[in-house]
Chains A and B, each alone.
Chain A
Amino acid sequence: MSLIHRGLTLSFKVEENHLEQVNELLEAFNRQQPSKESLPDTFFISWLGVPPQVYAEKEKLPARILLMSSYVGSKRKHLQVLVEAIGEELRQVLAFTVGFPKEQITNKSLVRFLAKSSKFNTYYSGFKFISPKEVIPEKNLREWVYGWVEKQLQDPNFGTSTPQEIKDRIENAVEKDPNYNWAMKKPKGLGRSKWAMLSALGLFGLLMVLSLFIALVSIWWNLGSWVLLAWLFPFFIVSIFLLLVLLRKEENIEPPPIQVINDKDYLEIVSREKNKVVNEMTVIAPLKPGKFRRVFLAVSLRLVAMIRYFTYIPTVHTARWLQLDGGKRLVFIATFDNQSEAYAHDFVDSEQRSRNLAVIFSHVMGFPKTTWLIKRGENYRKDYMKGVRSFQFKTRFWYAFNTDLSVENLKNNRAFRLGLHKKMKEHEIRRWLLRL
Chain B
Amino acid sequence: MAIETIIHGSDLELHDMQGILIRGYGALPEAKYLLLGFEDRKLAKSYLKDMHLLITNGLVKPKDQAMNFALTASGIKTLGINEEDFSTFLREFKEGMTEPHRQFVLGDKGEFSAGNWDWGQPGGEKVDLLLMVFAKDHELMEKILDREKERMERFGVKLLHSLPTALLQDHKEHFGFRDDISQPRIKELAKTYQEGDFPAGEFFLGYRDLYDEYPLSPSVAEQEDSMDLLPISYENKQRKDLGKNGSYLVFRQMQQDVVAFWEYMKTKTISEEEAILLASKMVGRWPDGSPLTLCPDGPNMDLSQENDFNFWKEDKLGLKCPIGAHIRRTNPRDHLVTETNAKDSKEMAGKHRMLRKGRPYGKPLEADIDPLKMMMKADDGEERGLHFICLVTDIRRQFEFVQNSWVNFHKFGGLDQDADPIIGNHYQEGNLKTDEFSVPQFPVRKKYEKLPNFTKVRGGAYFFVPGMRAMKFLSKALE
Contacts and interface: CB of A to CB of B under 8 A. Distances in A.
B216 A406 contact: no
Contacts of B94: 263
A11 to B, nearest CB: 31
A378 B351 contact: no
A149 B351 contact: no
Interface string B93-136: 01100011100110000000000000000000000000000000
B87 A263 contact: yes
Contact of A381 (B101, B105, B213, B405): B213
B290 interface: no
A349 B348 contact: yes
B199 to A, nearest CB: 14
A93 interface: no
A338 B404 CA distance: 9
Contacts of A342: 401, 404-405
B444 A337 contact: no
A348 B338 CA distance: 15
B444 A434 contact: yes
Interface in A66-91: none
Contacts of A434: 317, 440, 444-445
A380 interface: yes
Interface string B413-457: 110100000000000000110000000101111010000000000
B101 to A, nearest CB: 4
Nearest to B216: A382
Chain A interface bracket (under 10, 10 to 19, 20 to 34, 35 or more): 35 or more
Of the listed residues A146, A150, A342, A379, the one surrounded by the most CB atoms of chain B closer than 10 A to its CB is A342
B101 A270 contact: yes
B344 A352 contact: yes
Interface string A373-384: 000001111100
A30 interface: no
A274 B104 contact: yes
Nearest to B212: A378
Interface in A378-436: 378-382, 404, 406-409, 412, 430-431, 433-434, 436
A315 interface: yes
Contact of A349 (B104, B351, B416, B431): B351
Contacts of B104: 271, 274
Nearest to B209: A381
Contacts of B445: 434, 436
A350 B347 contact: yes
B339 A379 contact: no
A314 B339 contact: yes
B363 interface: no
A350 B443 contact: no
A159 B444 CA distance: 9
A345 interface: yes
A339 B348 contact: no
B216 A345 contact: no
B106 to A, nearest CB: 11
Contact of A166 (B95, B101, B443): B443
A337 B216 CA distance: 27
A277 interface: yes
A169 B351 CA distance: 45
B100 A350 contact: no
B100 A271 contact: yes
Contacts of A274: 104
Contacts of A315: 338
B348 A406 contact: no
Interface in A333-355: 337-339, 341-342, 345-346, 348-352
A404 B432 contact: yes
Contact of A341 (B87, B396, B410): B396
Contact of B347 (A166, A267, A349, A379): A349
A223 B396 CA distance: 64
A153 B446 CA distance: 11
B348 A350 contact: yes
B232 interface: no
A287 B319 CA distance: 49
Given A276-B432, A381-B213, A263 B443 contact: no
Contacts of A352: 344
Nearest to A429: B443
Contact of B351 (A263, A341, A345): A345
B340 A312 contact: yes
Nearest to A403: B432
Contacts of B338: 314-315, 346, 407-408
Interface in B190-222: 211, 213, 216
A151 to B, nearest CB: 11
Contact of B444 (A263, A349, A433): A433
Of the listed residues A277, A338, A378, the one surrounded by the most CB atoms of chain B closer than 10 A to its CB is A338
A345 B401 contact: yes
A163 B442 CA distance: 9
B354 to A, nearest CB: 15
A267 B444 contact: no
Given A149-B443, A404-B431, A339 B211 contact: no
B52 interface: no
Contacts of B414: 406, 408-409, 412
Nearest to A407: B338
A409 B416 contact: yes
A433 B87 contact: no
A366 B247 CA distance: 28
A266 interface: yes
B463 interface: no
B411 interface: yes
A376 to B, nearest CB: 10
Interface in A301-352: 312, 314-315, 337-339, 341-342, 345-346, 348-352
Given A277-B411, A408-B338, A149 B444 contact: yes
B251 interface: no
Contact of A159 (B91, B337, B410, B443): B443
Contacts of B347: 349-351
B149 interface: no
B444 A436 contact: yes
B339 A339 contact: no
Contact of B213 (A159, A379, A433): A379
A379 B440 CA distance: 42
A339 B404 contact: yes
B397 interface: yes
B409 interface: yes
Contacts of B431: 404
Contacts of A337: 409, 411
A338 B409 CA distance: 7
Given A342-B405, A406-B411, A380 B211 contact: yes
A406 B409 CA distance: 10
A412 to B, nearest CB: 6
A346 B348 contact: yes
B213 A263 contact: no
Of the listed residues B87, B95, B416, the one surrounded by the most CB atoms of chain A closer than 10 A to its CB is B416
Interface of B: 87, 91, 94-95, 99-101, 104-105, 211, 213, 216, 317, 336-340, 344, 347-348, 351, 396-397, 400-401, 404-405, 409-411, 413-414, 416, 431-432, 440, 442-445, 447
8 contacts: A150-B444, A166-B443, A276-B432, A339-B105, A345-B401, A350-B347, A409-B411, A433-B442
Q: Give the top 10 A-B pairs by smallest Cβ distance, nearest first.
A: A314-B338, A408-B414, A406-B411, A342-B405, A271-B101, A381-B211, A349-B351, A436-B444, A349-B348, A149-B444
Given A315-B338, A345-B348, A350-B347, 6 more contacts: A266-B91, A312-B340, A342-B404, A346-B348, A404-B431, A408-B413
